[in-house]
Amino acid sequence: MSTIDNLKNAFAGESQANRKYLAFAKKADAEGFKQVAKLFRAAAEAETVHAHNHLRVLGGIRSTKENIQEAIGGETHEFTTMYPQMIEEAKKEGNKQALQSFEFANKVEKIHADLYQKALNNLGKNETVDYYVCQVCGDTVEKDAPDKCRICGAPKDKFTKIG
């Protein structure tokens, strides 16, 4: 294995650890373990620092225009190739929970690609738009949270404004 391969693997591992630790922190908070939740969030932030360092060394952070273009490509791959294959496998296996998780993500990745394209088209115009994310399925909307999520049907209070 090369150093570049190691950096890619380290980036992936640190990124996954960040998300896992944030999920663990939510659970610890819900169970009343505030100090453990704080530790999980601190470790998650450190993993983010590591991941960003690895990505920077890989040359993976370029101009905003290039980053948006890469994001469009990644999101498009997810909703055209990756998730459709995963959806079919989950159907074959009869795994309904995985199927729902994949279907939610698949629908939202298309929305993300569209939002990135809009951002690319408006790059430099300095428009201010608020975004809201459904905490059930990940649906991402502009301007204001809907009364009901268009993907999963969750009520408006399940949307979080992203700052």
List, for residues 113-161, the tens digit of each pLDDT value: 999 999 999 999 988 999 999 999 999 999 999 999 999 999 999 999 9
Overall CATH class of domain 128-163: mainly beta
pLDDT on residue 95: 98
Residue 163 pLDDT greater than 90, yes or no: no
Asked if the domains 3-57 and 128-163 are classified in one and the same CATH topology, the answer is no
Confidence (pTM): 0.89
Asked if 48 contacts 92 with a C-beta cutoff of 8 angstroms, the reply is no
Q: Which helix (H) or strand (E) holds 92?
A: helix 83-93
Give residues with Cβ within 8 angstroms of 4, minimum separation 6.
58
Burial 14-50 (b: 16+ CB within 10 A, else e): bbebbeebbebbeebeeeeeeeebeebbebbeebbeb
List, for residues 63-106, the tens digit of each pLDDT value: 999 999 999 999 999 999 999 999 999 999 999 999 999 999 99
Locate the domains of the chain by residue range: 3-57, 63-127, 128-163
3-state secondary structure of 64: helix
Write the CATH number of the domain with boundaries 63-127. Answer: 1.20.1260.10
List, for residues 18-72, the tens digit of each pLDDT value: 999 999 999 999 999 999 999 999 999 999 999 999 999 999 999 999 999 999 9
Q: Which CATH superfamily is domain 3-57 in?
A: Ferritin, core subunit, four-helix bundle (1.20.1260.10)
pLDDT on residue 147: 97
